[in-house]
Amino acid sequence: MLGELWDCLRRSCDGERQSVFIATEPGNGKATLAHEFQHQAAANVPGLRAACGQCVEGYGSKEAYYPMLEALGQLCRGFGGNSVVRALAEQAPTWLVQFPALVKPEHREMLQQEILGATRQRMLREIGDALNTIASGSPLLLVLEDLQRADPFTVDPISAVARSRTPAKLMFVGTYRQMDVAVSGHPMQALKPDLLIHRLCREITLEPLEEVA
């Protein structure tokens, strides 16, 4: 499983964006696999930016885009964070304004004026453009965990990232429980099969891990 993830990461480092879903049943080690891969990648790929966001309990009653915002916050405060903040300021103000601590007081009012009337479609366009810029030079690894808890707002950026035709050193990894995504009406039900049909993602089905593994 790690070998397949590394193959995707090598492709993304060459500018071929990659989207991978790790599907499993509860307790089969999806989080362990995702964390180990992120740890190895951060230690072995020069210049790699890596961030992880987690969908929280309370399906349908949480902050929109929460796991993506969590990952962006890590990028803004991590290695090369100043360039990430600049990319958001220039291309995704509707996202940067979600982090008031990162915005100088004299710029906050200007940002608030700029995002007045912002639509869901605008937010998707902005985050797509910003991620393309962030991943245009250095590799970028984004991990979103527990997508079985994802709301439609969280699934939208995943779709936009996977469908973009702009070359970028970007790899997305999403994990979820198969049995929970099978619930009627779950936003992942429509997204993943469509991406698979169009060869815009890979799916790794994780069998139960032995204790040694």
Which pLDDT score, from 0 to 100, does residue 95 have? Answer: 92
Q: Across the chain, what does the average pLDDT equal?
A: 86
pLDDT at 29 over 90: no
- What tens digit of pLDDT does each residue of 34-93 get? 899 999 999 999 999 999 999 886 544 467 889 999 999 999 998 889 999 999 999 998
Which pLDDT score, from 0 to 100, does residue 152 have? Answer: 85
DSSP alpha helix (H) spans, 92-119: 93-96, 105-114
Q: How far apart are CA 15 and CA 177, in angstroms?
A: 29
CATH code of the domain in which 172 resides: 3.40.50
Q: Which of 205, 99, 114, 95 is nearest to 160 (CA)?
A: 95
pLDDT at 206 over 90: no
If one compares 98 and 52, the residue with the highest pLDDT of the two is 52
Q: How far apart are CA 170 and CA 48, in angstroms?
A: 10
Contact between residue 22 and residue 173 where contact means Cβ atoms under 8 Å apart:
yes
- Of 49-63, 131-145, 153-167, 192-206, minimum mean pLDDT range: 49-63
**Residue 90, in any domain of the structure:** yes
Contacts of 13 (CB under 8 A, 6+ apart): 45, 139, 169
Q: How confident is the model at residue 5 (pLDDT cuts 50, 70, 90)?
A: very high
**Residue 78, in any domain of the structure:** yes
pLDDT at 153 over 90: no
Q: How far apart are CA 67 and CA 122, in angstroms?
A: 19
What average pLDDT does the segment 107-131 reach? 79
**Residue 212, in any domain of the structure:** no
What average pLDDT does the segment 83-106 reach? 87
What average pLDDT does the segment 99-105 reach? 81
What are the structure tokens assigned to 150, written together?
């994802």
**Residue 184, in any domain of the structure:** no
What average pLDDT does the segment 137-144 reach? 94
**Residue 171, in any domain of the structure:** yes
Contacts of 75 (CB under 8 A, 6+ apart): 49, 51, 81, 84, 134, 140
Percent of the chain, pLDDT > 70? Answer: 86
Which pLDDT score, from 0 to 100, does residue 8 have? Answer: 93
- What tens digit of pLDDT does each residue of 166-200 get? 999 999 999 998 888 877 778 888 888 899 999 99
If phi over 0 gives left and psi between -120 and 50 gives alpha, with beta otherwise, what is residue 58? left
Domain count, the chain: 1
| Residue range of the domain that includes 158 | 2-179+197-204
Q: Give the 3-state secondary structure of residue 169.
A: coil
**Residue 30, in any domain of the structure:** yes
**Residue 56, in any domain of the structure:** yes
**Residue 186, in any domain of the structure:** no
pLDDT at 138 over 60: yes
